[in-house]
Structures are given as C-alpha cells and as structure tokens.
Structure 1
Amino acid sequence: MAQHSEHVGMNRTGIQMSPLDTKAMLKDDGSARGEEGDESALADVRSSYIADAEGLGSVPLPGTITGAVSMGVQMLKGDSPQILLDKLGERLAFERTGARLYDALITKCEVMLDGEISMSIEDLQAIRSDEARHFLLLSDAIESLGGDPTSQTPSADLVGVESMGLVQVLNDPRTSLAQSLHAIVTAELADKAGWETLVALADEHELTDMVNDFTIALNEEREHLALVQTWYEEAIGLTYGDVEIEPDQSGPAATP
C-alpha cells in the first residue's frame, strides 16, 4: 500500500476541542437573535450587479478578410461559427493549463515518487506530450477557420479562472501525490467533457477532418483519465483486484 502524507494530528479546526464554548455557542436563549432576518438584502445587491454585467467578453472577429467573410457567410446561413471558435479557444486554454499541471506533477514526482504506485515519470511525460500536441492541434484548427489562437475568447477566460485552483493544488509543496492526483483527475474529467463537446460542434458544422482529429484527441483523453484514476486509487490504498476498465463507448466519439 502506498505511503500517505495524511497522518493523525491535533484537532485544530473542530469544535470538539472546546466543549464548554460549543455548548454556550449552541445554546439558544433567544437573547442573541434579535429580529428575524434573511439574505434578501445581499441577494438584491448581487441581482443589481448581475443585471448590469456585460459578460466575460466577446468572440474576436477573425483577423483576416477571408476569415471574416467566411464567418459572416456562415452566420447568414444560420450557423453559429462563433460558438465553435469560443469552444476551440476554451479547449486551447485548458490544454495549455493541462501541460503546466503535468509539469508541476512531474516536478513533485521527482522528489516524492517511491515506486509504491504504478505511475512513472515516463508515463507523466507521455501524457504531458499529448496535452502539448492537443494544444497545437487546436491552434491549427482555429487558424484554419480564420481565427487568432492568441486571442482570448469568453470560454477561455472562464476555464482560466476555473483551473486556478487546480494549479494552486499542484504547485503547493504541502500537497501529497494522492492530493495532486485528485486535482489531475478533476482536470481530466473536465477535459474529456470538453473534447466531447468539440467533436459534436465540429460534426454539426460538417468539418470532417476536425471531427476525426478531435475524436483521436478525445480517445487519448479517455486513456489519460483511466490512468490517473487508477494511480489516484493506488495512492490512497484503494484496490479492486484484477478489475479491467471497460472503454467508454458513449457520446459522439463513436463517430468515425
């Protein structure tokens, strides 16, 4: 069983260490209640901010005349190329973060990996290479549509904020391998869902080459997820014997 950094120590955050104060805090004699209240005032303030907000931005127009004309023609036909470009930008930003997450995990493993789990640094480097290759694939796809892969779309902004916590977990020197792998599992789950969306969008726009390329990337992400889930379970000492993981056949990845 893998060794853990989690250990039994002094209770510094729970109420059980101060039973007298806890009893006094939980005692309800009515003196501290005052008027009955709710959070309606706070909700009103938040509502006003929500009503006045302008969103996270807009999808940048293609930087080339050909790209702009192509987008305009598609929109006149009733298509939504801006949604595809937004989601391509989202995946691009997340793959960049994914490569950095694996960089951080590799650095941690160089110090902490002790052979107690089946994961190796070579495994992590291979996955990191896939993430970097997916980044380049997405960059080429955006350029093929006349877009600018260096511009930030609204969904790219969104996933940048969402993934900040994952980056903090991996870069925190106090987190164990198990805790770091928990964050990686979270990232891979989101990555798998994101690629499924991209495959569906590319198929909707009849972009056959993108469908094929994105399906390959999706299947690679499914492999990543299966691996990191196994490593995480090993890291916390969870075993299932010789159970084999069945490949996920659901979703649009079945498209040839």
Structure 2
Amino acid sequence: MNRTGIRMSPIDSKAMRELEPSITTDDGAGDIALAELRSDYIANADALGSVPLPGTLTGALTVGMSMLTGDRPQILLDKLGERLAFERTGTRLYDALITKCEVMLTGDISMTIDDLEQIRADEARHFLMVADAIESLGGDPTSQTPSADLVGVESMGLVQVLNDPRTTIAQSLHAIVTAELSDKAGWETLVALADEHGLADMVERFTYALNEEREHLALTQTWYEEAIGLTYGDVELDDMTPVSEPPP
C-alpha cells in the first residue's frame, strides 16, 4: 500500500506541524547562509572538464587555422563529443528496452521488437558517424569533452529507469521519449554548427541523422500514447515518410 502521503498518519503529521515556534520561525537567515555557501563554491569551482587537444599533427593544424579565422572549432568538437556520448547511451537504452519488451510486450500497442532493433541499429550507426567526424577533424573520439560529461550525468536517470525491473513498458517509453526529444535538439545544434564551419559533408550526414531522429521521436511518442491508452491509430516504421538514402 502506498503510504507516502501525509494524511496516512494524521497523528504524526499533526505533531510535525506543531513544532516549537523558534524552530518554525523563518527569518531567512538559513537560506541566506546556504546561498552564500553555494556562491563561494560556484565562484571558486573549476570548469567541467576541457576540450581535448587534437590527437594528430594534421588535426592540430586544422584546428589552429580555424581558430585564427574565429570559427571556434573547440565548440564544434565539444558538441561532437556530446553527441557521441549520447548516441552511445541511446544504444544502451534501446538494448534495455528490447530486453524488457521480450518479457513484457503484448499486442496492446503497435510497437514490435523489430521496430526497436531497427532504431537501436540507427543509434549505433549515428555513434560511428560522429566518431568518424571527430577523427576527420583530427580529434580523438575516446576523449571526454565537457558536454559529453554533462550529458552522461543528465542521462543517468534515463538509464536507471530502463534498467529498473519494476518499470512498465509505458514508463520505459516515457524515458525513451525524453531521450529522443533531447537527441533531436542535439542534432539540430550539430547541423547548425557544422554549417557555420562550412563543413558541407558533415551537414549532409548530420541532417540525415536528424531526420531519422525525428522519425524515432514520432514513433516512440505514438507508442507511449498507445501504452497509456491514448490510441490515435497504429504507426509502423513502414508507414513513416521515408528519408532519403544515407549519404555515402
């Protein structure tokens, strides 16, 4: 039985509200002291990692020349690292969802294991695409950039939801939709950055990945709505508007 609400124990909750007046009086001093402590930590904190140096001489020259022209390649490398980390996590999220669906999936929603395996393959391919892009700029895909560190922390809760044996398919899909929303926004940023740097080949490849992520979002959102009883009609991968063939 769920006993988290305060009304489940009226006697104890009454005692909690009848504290000594000196304890319950709020003059704001505690909040001010806490804010000052946090401010001190913020003012003296180090950065959340750093963008790694290029791993090759060619990469160093490429990045150095770009910095001289004011193109800020370190931002592009940082966001490439972010996407790499998130696509790796996305692959693991779908691995976990596939495992759960192999046990729990019924015919109540239009989602199938084959659908999930196809999206999982897309996420893995996107990971390799970003790794190749980093290497083409002379970077090291195994390096951890600040934004990669950030999304790793952000996505920890999503991983916990998918790997928790108690969560339902609907609850798992809620986490997947959250991941796909973030993924779409991340690819939009990456396309814009690649375009800003005049990297036409990357723009083409990243736009293709973005279109696939938009398809993933539409599918997972539909499946989630079906799972909670909001059925607007079955959606299958073959029913989606096909994207163009991937660039070579």
TM superposition shift of 1:167: 0.5
TM superposition shift of 1:12: 1.0
Aligned length: 237
Residue among 52, 66, 73 paired with 1:81:
73
1:130–1:242 distance in 2 versus 1, CA, 3 Å: closer
Q: Once the two structures are superposed, what CA deviation does each residue of 1:228-248 show, in whole Å capped at 9, x if it has no partner? A: 0001011111134689x998x
Corresponding position of 1:12: 3
Corresponding position of 1:30: 21
Residue among 153, 157, 169 paired with 1:177:
169
1:53–1:32 distance in 2 versus 1, CA, 3 Å: closer
Q: Once the two structures are superposed, what CA deviation does each residue of 1:45-95 show, in whole Å capped at 9, x if it has no partner? A: 111111111111111111111110111111111111010000000000000
Is residue 62 from structure 1 mapped to residue 54 from structure 2 by the alignment? yes
> What's the secondary structure of 1:63's corresponding residue?
coil
Residue among 114, 119, 129 paired with 2:106:
114
Corresponding position of 2:94: 102
Give the helix-richer structure, 1 or 2. Answer: 2
Tell me the C-alpha RMSD between the 2 structures.
2.0
8 Å Cα contact 2:226-2:232 kept in structure 1: no
**For 2:234 and 2:105, how far apart are their aligned partners in 1?**
23
Q: Once the two structures are superposed, what CA deviation does each residue of 1:179-235 show, in whole Å capped at 9, x if it has no partner? A: 000000000000000000000000000100110100000000000000000010111
Return the letter of the residue paired with 2:81: G
**For 1:48 and 1:57, how far apart are their aligned partners in 2?**
20
Percentage of matched positions with identical amino acids? 78
TM superposition shift of 1:30: 3.2
Instruction: Give the alignment of 1:1-256 within 5 angstroms.
Output: 10-27=1-18, 30=21, 32-34=23-25, 36-37=27-28, 38-240=30-232
User: Which deviates more from structure 2 when the two are superposed, residues 135-144 or residues 29-38?
Assistant: 29-38
TM-score normalized with structure 1 length: 0.88
> What's the secondary structure of 1:60's corresponding residue?
coil
TM superposition shift of 1:33: 2.7
Corresponding position of 2:245: none
* Unmatched tracts of structure 1, length 5 or more: 1-9, 248-256
8 Å Cα contact 2:110-2:234 kept in structure 1: no
**For 2:233 and 2:59, how far apart are their aligned partners in 1?**
54
8 Å Cα contact 1:84-1:198 kept in structure 2: yes
8 Å Cα contact 1:11-1:17 kept in structure 2: no
**For 1:241 and 1:106, how far apart are their aligned partners in 2?**
22
TM superposition shift of 1:19: 2.0
**For 1:172 and 1:34, how far apart are their aligned partners in 2?**
41
TM superposition shift of 1:23: 3.2
